[in-house]
Amino acid sequence: MQLQEYISLRPYNTFGIDVAATSFLEINDISDLEGIEADTKKLIIGGGNNLLLTKPVDALVLHNKLKGITVEKENDTHIWLRVAAGEIWHELVLYVVNKGWGGVENLALIPGTVGAAPIQNIGAYGTEIRETIDSVTFWYWSEKKLLSFSNRECEFGYRDSIFKNQMRDKFFITSVVLKLDKVPKLNTSYGAIEQELAHMGVTEPTVKAVAYAVIHIRTDKLPDPAQIGNAGSFFKNPSLSKSSFDKLLAMYPKIPFYPVNDSWIKVPAAWLIEQCGWKGYRIGDVGVHTKQALVLVNYGHAHGQEIWDLSGKIVQSVHERFGIQLEREVQVW
Ligand code: FAD
Ligand code: NAP
């Protein structure tokens, strides 16, 4: 596709924020990246599900449309799939579970592209993409060539990776290799999965049944960006040291918590935000979702800056009440 100028990015971000981009280029082939200079200011967009645009984008927007799935190798127990970065994550999950391969079934219905998945190490229902990623291939702007990182080199953490840190703005992910199980080990212990499987009448779960249980739960619980502008969880769940958590528990005995390991405890950010009275809050077209306090929403024509300002007020009030500093998960321009 030809370079387009001064187009609205409203269709390209799930908050539905209407800002203009100076220039916009669809990436359909790796060769489309070759002529772009390392020092050109750019914004890469996949599905725009994790983006908050607070101002006009005075940069070259690269819309990732790289497609294709190929088998790299396989043995009796595993299959390695190379998936182009512009493939839609949920469509890939459906393809994989229909083959009966395991590893991504708990990550069904996460919106977005395959290329964005390793950046924040997408996770849900007790599974993270880092458990399945074999390697990530990217166009490295400064050397104008493709490089690959092994799973270990990606430095995955909770909703985090090297791509959000040292590598920030230095790459365009072109494909991901997933190592999938031919003999799946199911993880149904999280939340309502087992309850939903029972409701579905499933007595011997398969990867496909688990994926559909997750799809049913998510469809009931999470706001659909097609109905109401949002970018999923706006904040990460904070992890506290055991000593800080014990002090908090003494003050708030009803606080929900999940041990991460012997030293760290995860506290749901949604609970903290709800306790501060934000759930269902609305001012103009900006608000906090009525059913899910982690999700900030655009009821129509909100500006990105208004959403950013509301997020700042939430961070401040949670800090004042609990002494906990919330971190934003959404990527901000
Ligand atoms: P975008 O929003 O387009 O981009 C996100 C960031 O990655 C941006 O900084 C962008 O510049 C960069 N980027 C994107 N593609 C590339 C590339 N090819 N190369 C280099 N940089 C790139 N997340 C979870 O982890 N778990 C969930 O359960 C979950 N549920 C969600 C539910 C809803 C309703 C919504 C709206 C979001 C949810 N998210 C969840 C967040 C989101 O789905 C993920 O972050 C997803 O990976 C974003 O994909 P995307 O293609 O839309 O990325
Ligand atoms: P939920 O199941 O109501 O749980 C609330 C929070 O408690 C979650 O954030 C979750 O942390 C934590 N939690 C619940 N059960 C847990 C367990 N058994 N072990 C460890 N932690 C547990 O959350 P929800 O809002 O309906 O979302 C369901 C899943 O989808 C969650 O995994 C959530 O992360 C994911 N999701 C993510 C986004 C996003 O944009 N990032 C948006 C929607 C949903 P974790 O978040 O660490 O799992």
Residues, the chain:
333
pLDDT value of position 222: 87
For 302-333, the pLDDT digits (tens) are 999 999 999 999 999 999 999 999 999 999 99
Q: Which residue has the tokens 């459906």?
A: 94
Distance 247 CA to ligand 1 centre (A): 35
For 187-228, the pLDDT digits (tens) are 999 989 999 999 999 999 999 999 999 999 999 888 999 999
Residue 124 Cβ inside 6 Å of ligand 2? The answer reads yes
Q: Which residues pair with 44 in a beta bridge?
A: 62
pLDDT value of position 191: 83
Distance 120 CA to ligand 1 centre (A): 7
Q: Which residue has the tokens 């992910």?
A: 173
Residue 221 Cβ inside 6 Å of ligand 2? The answer reads yes
| Contact criterion met (CB below 8 Å) for 86 and 66 | yes
Q: Tell me the pLDDT of the chain averaged across its residues.
A: 96
Q: What is the CA radius of gyration of the chain?
A: 20
Nearest residue by C-alpha to atom 9 in ligand 1: 331
pLDDT value of position 279: 97
Strands 123-124, 4-8: parallel, antiparallel or unpaired by DSSP?
A: unpaired
Binding-site residues, ligand 1, Cβ < 6 A:
14, 43-51, 64, 85, 110-113, 115-117, 119-120, 122-124, 171-173, 222, 225, 230-232, 331
Share in percent of the chain as helix, strand, coil (round to 5): 25, 30, 45
For 122-175, the pLDDT digits (tens) are 999 999 999 999 999 999 999 999 999 999 999 999 999 999 999 999 999 999
CA distance 278 to 223: 17
pLDDT value of position 238: 97
Atom of ligand 2 nearest to the CA of 329: 41
Q: Where are the domains of the chain?
A: 4-64, 69-181, 229-332
pLDDT value of position 1: 61
Atom of ligand 2 nearest to the CA of 158: 47
In sequence order, what E strands does the chain have? 4-8, 20-27, 42-45, 51-52, 57-64, 69-74, 78-84, 123-124, 127-128, 133-140, 145-150, 171-181, 229-230, 239-241, 258-259, 264-266, 282-283, 286-288, 296-298, 331-332
Amino acid at residue number 87: E
Nearest residue by C-alpha to atom 33 in ligand 2: 124
- The correct answer on CATH 3.90.78.10 for the domain covering 229-332 is yes
Classify domain 69-181 by CATH number: 3.30.465.10
Q: Which residues pair with 88 in a beta bridge?
A: 113
Nearest residue by C-alpha to atom 20 in ligand 1: 172
Alpha carbon distance, N-terminus to C-terminus of the chain: 24
pLDDT value of position 58: 96
Q: Which two tokens stand for residue 69?
A: 């799935």
Nearest residue by C-alpha to atom 34 in ligand 2: 124
- The correct answer on CATH 3.30.43.10 for the domain covering 4-64 is yes
For 1-38, the pLDDT digits (tens) are 689 999 999 999 999 999 999 999 999 999 999 999 99
Catalytic residues: 159, 233, 329
For 254-299, the pLDDT digits (tens) are 999 999 999 999 999 999 999 999 999 999 999 999 999 999 999 9
pLDDT value of position 220: 87
Atom of ligand 1 nearest to the CA of 222: 34
Assessment of whether the complete model's pTM goes beyond 0.85? yes
